[in-house]
Amino acid sequence: MPTITIFQDDLKSLLASDRSTDRGITIAQLEEWLMLAKGELKGHNLETGELRIELQDSNRPDLWCCEGIARQIRIKQQGRLKPYSFFDKKPKSPHHLIVKPGMEQVRPYVAACTAKGYRVSEKGLAQLIQTQEKLADIFGRKRKTVSIGIYQLRNITFPVTYELVKPDDVRFTPLGMETTMTLSEILMVHPKGLEYGPILAVKSLLPVLRDAKDQPLSFPPIINSREIGEVQVGDDELFVEVTGTDLPMVMLSLNIFAANLADRGATIEPVEVQYPTSTMLGKRVKTPQDFGKPKTIRTKAIEQALGQELGETVVKQALESYGYDVSAEKGSVKAKLPPYRHDLMHTMDVVEDVAMSRGYAEFTPVMPTQFTVGGLSAIEQLSDRSRDLMVGLGFQEIISNILGSPDHYSGFMRLHGTEWGRTVDVDNVMSLSFSCLRQWMLPSLLRIEASSSRAFYPHRLFEAGDVAIPDDAHELGSQTETVLGALIAHATTHFSEIHSSLDVLFYYLGKEYSLEPLQHPSFLEGRAGRILVSGKSVGVIGEVHPEVLERWQIAMPVAAFDVNLSKLAAN
């Protein structure tokens, strides 16, 4: 989840002043506060006061900025959220934004507001841009569902319209360019056009925001106009708009921006958005707007989940000092999230907020008392017993990656195109070295052998672990099975040496077996066998084919076996 950069003095200026801020914020204090925001301090620069913070909660975009973190702490300091007046549904707005028909096919929703009286500072501008980027990139899925534009208000004449135009009918100078371009030119030439153009499926009609004088504000979600849409240090009248495909997400993003700007001292004036047809919030939607609903929660449910009796008063107090609007009733609380949050899906979400607000340290751990019987699965027991026996036989255990390359698992083994050579392959390959799952163990052992020619001989290696064997009849297309592989490598090793090890292993596992001659491309003909238990094949054994050794660049004879423990357990 996002990692953001903020500055300590900026954070401090947004907090309520109390003893801890007056004394200067210590790192320990900061880390404790950050728990309220599920934030982790990743780095700090004592000289510049720069802080790098990772925010864990992907459902709390309001916390991905300095203002949001400060707000969560401030509410805790002050005991409750000081309400913002501009979220009310009621007051009429002097500013209108008209959505023209057709937008519902492309990018249906828009929300906007103005902010006056906050003079943008250098650090403030950097924060504004960072918030805009994190929201559009992560919450807005790379601008697909949400994108945000910020403008100089004084250049805009209301009403603003949001409409579709032909690609060559509108031209303006986009940010980052010197000359005017048509929308189709922007899509073809401008870096942002190339990056975000694919979001717009239909290219014959494109969205544009224009003011009453027909001046283009922007071509959402691609790029703003340079004349109106370039905010600079010193500007003190802003216009903010959010467009997107999901109304709650669009509304929430604007609410976050409005709260952030208000926290920095701006006066927010709402904008009335007029849709051609009704939305879930009506046809005329005042933005920003608190569109959340209160939820009634039984106190008992919260207490049960937390394992602690709290009572309505404590619950109310905990939630209020975390930003909720709460009224206590008998046996329950009616809780509503602040307007900049929209992440209440279940009572359990409220439960966590109660715990976080009080602090996890407030809850005394209780040892679970329930009695249960522990134990290992049958296959793990067989695998552990086999491993013990292999150690007794003088073999060194190894561990390998399961994800590997088809060259190692099949090609080097002379198995290409054979049934033995089939593997579960990855579709989205990043590197050929990690592009299929191993289907047997021998290549994992040869990988070690190939790079260990300088380790003194003899080498006796084994590994017990999972493999994936393609199986068309299985619902997952493959079977995960546990396999034991072993090899011996030294100048005079041969079939009967590895056979002796197999013989001892099977004796102590209590399995009667026989060997049946086998033609297998990885082994020398006449020196390879199928291991049969109750007439069923459970593995292979043999002297590794010299061509296989050559391909692995191993200059030492190798004898090996590969036993499928899952099959052995079943027989």
Partner 1 sequence: MDISAVIDSLHPLEIKVLTTLGARPSGTALDGEQLASVAELEPSQLSMAVEWLLAKSLITVQAETVTPIVSLTKVGEEYYQTTSPIERILAAAREATGNGTRLTIPDLQAQGGLDPSDVSKAIGRLKKEGVVLIIQGGCIETTGRPSPTAETLRTLLEEMHDSSKELKSFTETHRQVIEDYAVKRGNAKEPFRVDERVTRSFILSTDGVSAAEQLLKQGVAEEVSQLTPDLLKDGNWRQKRFRKYTISLRPPRIGTGKKHPYREFLDAVKAKLVSMGFREMRGALVETEFWDMDALFMPQFHPARDIHDVYFVKEPSHTTVLDEPFLSRVAKVHENGAETESTGWGYSFDVHRARRLVLRSQGTAVSARTLAASPNIPGKYFSIARCFRYDQVDATHATDFFQVEGIVLGEAINFRTLLGLLNLFAREVAQAKDVKFLPAYFPFTEPSVELHVRHPRLGWMELGGAGLFRPEVTLPLGVTVPVIAWGLGLDRMAMVALGIHDIRELFTDNLELIRTTRGLF
Q: Which residue among 374, 491, 510, 512 contacts partner 1 (CB under 8 A)? A: 374
Both tokens assigned to 305 = 């989940």
Is residue 398 near partner 1 by the rule CB under 8 A? yes
What distance lies between CA 81 and its chain's CA centroid?
30
Residue 62 sits at φ, ψ, to 5 deg, of: -65, -20
Contact between residue 532 and residue 515 where contact means Cβ atoms under 8 Å apart: yes
| Sheet of strand 39-45, all strands in order from the earlier edge strand to the far edge | 3-7, 50-55, 39-45
Residue 373 lies near partner 1 (rule: CB under 8 A):
yes
Among residues 105, 157, 267, 401, which is the contact residue for partner 1, using CB under 8 A? Answer: 401
Exactly one of 106, 126, 177, 305 binds partner 1 (CB under 8 A); which one?
A: 305
Least distance CB 101 / partner 1 (angstroms): 25
Touching partner 1, residues 41-80 (CB under 8 A): 56-59
> Tokens 């510049």, residue?
48
Between 78 and 400, name the residue whose CB sits nearer to partner 1. Answer: 400
Shortest approach of partner 1 to residue 48 CB, angstroms? 26
With a CB cutoff of 8 Å and minimum separation 6, the contacts of 258 are 84, 86, 87, 113, 115, 240, 268, 288
Q: Give the shortest CB-392-to-partner 1 separation in angstroms.
A: 6
Using CB under 8 A as the binding rule, whether residue 399 contacts partner 1 is answered as yes
212 is an interface residue for partner 1 by CB under 8 A: no
The answer to the question of residue 345 lying near partner 1 (CB under 8 A) is: yes
Closest approach, Cβ 353 to partner 1, in A, equals: 9
Contact 261, 268 (CB under 8 A): yes
Verify binding: residue 369, partner 1, rule CB under 8 A.
yes
Return the range that interacts with partner 1 (CB under 8 A); candidates 128-136, 253-261, 343-351, 505-513: 343-351
Cis peptide before 159 (omega within 30 of 0): yes
27 binds partner 1 (CB under 8 A): no
Among the listed residues 364, 512, 519, 535, the single contact to partner 1 using CB under 8 A: 364
The reply to whether 419 sits near partner 1 by the rule CB under 8 A is no
SS (HEC) of 114-142:
EEECCCCCHHHHHHHHHHHHHHHHHHCCC
Measured in degrees and rounded to the nearest 5, phi and psi for residue 529 equal: -145, 155
Closer of 45 and 56 to partner 1 (Cβ): 56
User: Which amino acid type is present at position 252?
Assistant: L
Give the interface size with partner 1 as a residue count (CB under 8 A).
93
Closest CA to 94 of 269, 275, 283: 269
Amino acid 176 reads: G
Residue 365 or 535: the one with the smaller Cβ distance to partner 1 is 365
Contact status: 28 vs partner 1 (CB under 8 A): no
* CB of 236 or CB of 407, closer to partner 1: 407
- Helices 347-358, 311-320: axis angle to 10 degrees equals 80
The first and second tokens of residue 459, run together, are 């080498």
| Closest distance to partner 1 from the beta carbon of 64 (Å) | 13
What is the nearest approach in angstroms of partner 1 to the Cβ of residue 355?
5
What part of residues 430-449 is at the interface with partner 1 (CB under 8 A)? 430-431, 434, 437, 447-449
- Residue 492 is a binding residue for partner 1 (CB under 8 A): no
Which residues fall within 8 angstroms of residue 126, CB to CB, at 6 or more apart?
A: none
Q: How many CA atoms lie within 13 A of 401 on its CB side?
A: 11
**Closest distance to partner 1 from the beta carbon of 486 (Å):** 11
* 458-487 positions binding partner 1, by CB under 8 A: 458-461, 465-466, 468, 472, 475-480
CB atoms within 10 A of CB 21: 16
Q: Closest approach of Cβ 293 to partner 1, in Å?
A: 10
- Nearest-approach distance from CB 109 to partner 1, in angstroms: 15
Per CB under 8 A, does 505 bind partner 1?
A: no
Question: What single letter denotes the amino acid at residue 50?
Answer: E
Rounded Cα distance, 392 and 446, in Å:
21
Q: Is 175 in the site for partner 1 (CB under 8 A)?
A: no
Q: Does 245 bind partner 1 (CB under 8 A)?
A: no
Q: State the helix-helix crossing angle for 311-320 and 299-306, rounded to 10 degrees.
A: 80
Piece in contact with partner 1 (CB under 8 A), picked from 251-259, 355-363, 508-516, 542-550: 355-363
Mapped onto helix, strand or coil, the DSSP state of residue 195 is: helix
Q: Please tell me the distance from the alpha carbon of residue 454 to that of residue 15, in angstroms, as a whole number.
A: 63
553 touching partner 1, by CB under 8 A: no
What sections of 135-246 are H helices per DSSP?
A: 183-189, 191-196
Distance of closest approach, residue 402 Cβ to partner 1, in angstroms: 5
* 505 vs 527: CA distance, rounded Å: 20
Structure-derived torsion over alpha carbons of residues 240, 243, 247, 251, reported in degrees to the nearest 10? -10
- Counting every residue, how long is the chain? 571
Choice from 361, 492, 510, 535 touching partner 1 (CB under 8 A): 361
Q: Of 30 and 112, which CB lies nearer to partner 1 in the complex structure?
A: 30
CA 117 to chain centre: 38
Is 195 one of the binding residues for partner 1 (CB under 8 A)?
no
Examine residue 556 and tell whether it contacts partner 1 (CB under 8 A): no
**Three-state secondary-structure class, residue 533:** strand
Task: Between 268 and 486, name the residue whose CB sits nearer to partner 1.
Answer: 486
Q: Tell me the closest approach of the beta carbon of residue 557 to partner 1, in angstroms.
A: 16
Using rule CB under 8 A, residue 280 touches partner 1: no
Q: Scanning residues 91 to 150, which ones bind partner 1 (CB under 8 A)?
A: 138, 141
Q: Binding to partner 1 by residue 330, rule CB under 8 A?
A: no
Q: Based on CB atoms, which residue is closest to partner 1, 360 or 508? A: 360
Minimum CB separation of residue 8 from partner 1 in Å reads 21
Evaluate whether 233 touches 152 at the Cβ level (below 8 Å). no
Q: What is the spatial distance between Cα 514 and Cα 492, in angstroms, rounded to a whole number?
A: 25
Name the minimum Å distance from CB 205 to partner 1. 26
Q: How many CA atoms lie within 13 A of 105 on its CB side?
A: 12
504 touching partner 1, by CB under 8 A: no
Residue 532 CB, shortest distance to partner 1, in Å, is 26
Report if residue 377 touches partner 1, rule: CB under 8 A. Answer: yes
